[in-house]
Structure 1
Amino acid sequence: MQFSEDALKFINLGINSEIAAYVFYKHAGAIVKEKGLQDTLHKLAHDEKGHFLSLEDLYDRNVRSEMWAPYKDILNKEGLPDIDELVQETHKELLSRIGGISTKRDVLEMALMLEKEAFTLFSEGAAKMKDPELKKVFDFLTGFEKVHVLLIEKELAAL
């Protein structure tokens, strides 16, 4: 399949976003002390890793560039991969703040911001896709990010 420039842009942005969110949730989960919040952050990290692997597989099956770094091989291993150089500026700023957070609300508000950004990215990607198969991928990811937004909003409402 030949990807359009828009498709490649959104696939790459999605890959970077999912890796950055994964790193954020892994770091946050290691820092917070509350078991319930740790479980939520670990679930979110697991989901983001799955999204990344799906997007990278899509890219790999259709583009197969020799310049493509096989991050999926790294992310298939246990533990936190050393990929901080891929973390976007927004995520770097959040990671720098997470060490100083003191409340569950602070962590959840950061997570909500990440999920809303991903939701917007994938919604925009879905709207721009002309290929029905790619549109399905972005629609699926949009729906999944919406579930994350609702999960975090529910956690915030319970505080």
Structure 2
Amino acid sequence: MQFSEDALKYVNLGINSEIAAYVFYKHAGSIVKEKELQETLLKLAGDEKGHFLSLEDLYDRNVRSEMWAPYKDILGKEGLPDIDELVQDTHKELLSRIRGIATKREVLEMALSLEKEAVALFSDASAKSTNPEIRKVFDFLTGFERNHVQLIEKELANL
């Protein structure tokens, strides 16, 4: 299948976004002290890792002529990969705030803003996709990110 230029742009944006979110949640999970919040952040990290692997697989099947994927190999292993340069500036700023005196509410609000950005990214990608298979992937990711929004909103409501 041939990717349109827009589809390729969104797949790449999605890959970068999911890696950055994964690294953010892993770092945030190691910074916060509250066990429940740590578990939530690490669950989100695992989900983002899965999203990355799905997008990377889509890219592999449709674009790559040579099958090598250093980030995919790195993310396939246990532990936090050393890919801090891929943490977006927004994520770096949020991590520095968490290291300060961030409350559980503040950490969850940061996570909520990141998840809402992901919903917007994947919704936009789906709307602009002309290929039904690619649209289906972006719709799936949009739904998954919406579930993250609901999970975080529920946590916030319980505070």
Q: TM-score, normalised by structure 1?
A: 0.96
Task: Report the counterpart of residue 125 of structure 1 in structure 2.
Answer: 125
CA deviations 1:91-118 (Å, max 9, x no partner) are 1211222211331001101100110000
Matched position secondary structure for 2:101:
coil
Shift of 1:70: 2.3
Moved more, 100-109 or 14-23: 100-109
Q: Structure 1's 8 and 68: CA in aligned 2 closer, same or farther, altered over 3 A?
A: farther
Q: CA RMSD in A?
A: 1.3
Task: Report the counterpart of residue 93 of structure 2 in structure 1.
Answer: 93
Task: Report the counterpart of residue 102 of structure 2 in structure 1.
Answer: 102
> Share of identical aligned residues, percent?
83
CA deviations 1:112-144 (Å, max 9, x no partner) are 011000000000000000000000000000000
Report if aligned partners of 1:101, 1:107 keep a CA contact under 8 Å in 2. no
| Runs (4+) off by over 4 Å | 65-69
Q: Which runs of 5+ in 1 are unaligned?
A: none
In the alignment, the residues of structure 1 paired with residue 60 and residue 103 of structure 2 have an alpha-carbon distance, to the nearest angstrom, of: 40
Report if aligned partners of 1:16, 1:86 keep a CA contact under 8 Å in 2. yes
In the alignment, the residues of structure 2 paired with residue 102 and residue 124 of structure 1 have an alpha-carbon distance, to the nearest angstrom, of: 31
Count of matched residue pairs: 159
Shift of 1:60: 1.1
In the alignment, the residues of structure 1 paired with residue 17 and residue 85 of structure 2 have an alpha-carbon distance, to the nearest angstrom, of: 13
Task: Report the counterpart of residue 47 of structure 1 in structure 2.
Answer: 47
Shift of 1:8: 0.6
Q: Which amino acid aligns with 1:13?
A: L
Task: Report the counterpart of residue 147 of structure 1 in structure 2.
Answer: 147
